[in-house]
Structure 1
């Protein structure tokens, strides 16, 4: 039997996350995330370097109660020097412990770390190669972000091989690799997660739309049995259409899976890893977190 804490006393829950990147420094970006739901809103802004260090130089946050205005910015000094790599979530949790909206701030920090993988700073003449098409963009990706190789199917050897066998298109542009100084909103993202009780089922959906991604996933869970009975996705925009498309059908492997504390681990092999899709995994894992951890 699935008991979702976020649906106690209500049949629907919605969380909206807006994130964007501003090119504010010669060697760093400012990543801002605004996370809002029916109960609370938070905003987290961090100045951070890109790959390979992903180091936060300074961070600040503010909180908005359900029926109130945003608070003044508060510095998060404990995050200065933190690297957005393994162990980052734990460090953020320690830094915001006891603060209003602590759980929301941890989730916002995770989104900041994800934004840090969406823009980089290359020499302009090198970034200009992106205009030549998908293959050039893919090569720039692999050299621009240290953690991309084998992070998903597209950046695996199998994904690379498909460039020679099929037509591939991409929305990637040179400004994502070398944005002009001072450019605002280099990259903009919106994510919407919804939980809804519909009769004997719980419907969980998550969408993400940004400069290069368009994902809309939906799961139906039998509340009594605690099992996923339907799973579907739409991907109107992908970084490399024709290659990123390959692992999207893996979502069907979740039908029949029990929604238990170990499902977040199992989906790493079912829909993630070098044969899967990192975005599909993240969107699904975030839904499971809403179902199980709150």
Structure 2
């Protein structure tokens, strides 16, 4: 069925409901003469009279009544589908699929997902974690979260986390055995959780900065990981001092499982962006998530260092 037939059938239902070309034309936003012409064309295509009409009145023929009986359920179903679509556009609902770096999932999504799902009970959130760049559209994702340089040039990117403060942390039990470091040089007397990104040969050197002076130290320790969360977990377990970011360490600091040191030497690293295809018709659930994340994070500051915990 082409769009013309569907439009004419919709017009026929309007005329049959009101038994008036003028009232039906007003509902459809056309002139009575244009509507009458459409009905004549429909009857000619079908080869049957659907309406009896005079200058004074309109009635539906027997054939028209039979057609109307079959059309109404279909028209109601179409109207319901359009209403559901409009509701989806206005109210966050349905499945929202996000692809994020491990760090982004932990630092951006996890802090807000309980409140987000409580606020929008009709949304189903799916978070896939991966380090490799992917084609979001081809894989069926609504958005991705990563540093700005990971966002494809043809996608919209919005900041969802400003530059993040580094946190150097250790467990209270660890510092009960060794005095907390007061300067980066003191780390030479400590066991540090070393970090090496997947696929890279070099071990990450810890950057520090104070009073516009920058330093980068190679540290030693008995544990090496390639995952920021594992570095934090190793510190919680008392295996040494970890170099991470506030967002990952904060929950353990609040619970008393980690203690922060060298805060006056801790620099900031670049923030994270949420990126998605197209300016128009952004899903309501995605708009709501972006708004909630940005409100939770407040205004971004100025970035200092490239984020060492993400791989470009």
TM-score range, shorter chain: under 0.3
- Structure with higher RCO (Cα < 8 A, 6+ apart): 2
Larger radius of gyration: 2
More helix by share: 2
Higher strand share: 1
